[in-house]
Chains A and B, each alone.
Chain A
Amino acid sequence: AQKITQTQPGMFVQEKEAVTLDCTYDTSDQSYGLFWYKQPSSGEMIFLIYQGSYDEQNATEGRYSLNFQKARKSANLVISASQLGDSAMYFCAMREAEFPNAGGTSYGKLTFGQGTILTVHP
């Protein structure tokens, strides 16, 4: 089963409107982190927002907010007041508490979804 699923290959939004990018995840861990990254056409990976599995409040960072529904295992990204510069690929990622050796240190590699291409129209 896919650990991170982003079901929207592409999304379109009008400038100044809000848009929601979907992300569902699959884990049996109790401790995990959920991340959203933006990848513009220039190719770099830009961190946007983070949600910890034990956080009771939805994370917010400026125009970005994360709609975290733990029981449904979803972590949707909401971008308010879209701007032309928001046009990019968006990746949802999860970091689990993995222990490579019994009693060892948790390290947690990131597992990424396939991404959603967001296009903002003027």
Chain B
Amino acid sequence: NAGVMQNPRHLVRRRGQEARLRCSPMKGHSHVYWYRQLPEEGLKFMVYLQKENIIDESGMPKERFSAEFPKEGPSILRIQQVVRGDSAAYFCASSPRPGPYNEQFFGPGTRLTVL
């Protein structure tokens, strides 16, 4: 049973370009969470999705960021017109069930560098 997959592992973009980060949850998991880790900091929640639905996007910046989890295919975190402050590690996690007692399984992360 493969773990959570994220690609690319490293992504370099110039200011103003778009970044697309992909996450394939573990088999059988329909709950996906995105977190961002700025340098020297802990992970911060961004968005929680179930298949075809955004449940909570309270941690997402209001502009330039969007996320989706289509019926088929991976979850996508999209950052438009990237700025240097977007440079961070972006982690995706999946869970079989949403409650507080269930572990979230993390992917290896995508390290975004904005030049």
Is the Cβ of A97 less than 8 Å from the Cβ of B99? yes
Counting chain A residues whose Cβ lies within 8 A of the other chain, the interface size class is 20 to 34
Asked if B48 and A107 make an inter-chain contact with CB atoms under 8 angstroms apart, the answer reads yes
Assuming the A-B contacts A43-B89, A43-B109, A95-B100, are A110 and B35 also in contact, with contact meaning beta carbons closer than 8 angstroms in the complex? yes
Quick check: A91 and B106 within 8 Å, CB to CB?
Answer: no
Take A47-B106, A100-B56 as given contacts and tell me if A107 and B99 are in contact as well, using a CB distance cutoff of 8 Å. Answer: yes
Total interface residues in chain B, CB < 8 Å: 27
- Smallest Cβ distance from B10 to chain A, in angstroms? 10
List the A side residues contacting B42 at CB < 8 Å: 4, 91, 112-115
Asked if B108 CB lies within 8 Å of chain A CBs, one says: yes
* B interface residues with partner A (beta carbon < 8 Å): 31, 33, 35, 41-45, 48, 55-56, 59, 89, 91, 93, 98-106, 108-109, 111
Name A's B-contacting residues (CB within 8 A): 4, 29, 31-33, 35, 37, 43-47, 50, 52-53, 91, 93, 95-98, 100, 105-115
A-B residue pairs in contact (CB < 8 Å), sample of 5: A50-B103, A52-B101, A106-B98, A108-B100, A115-B42
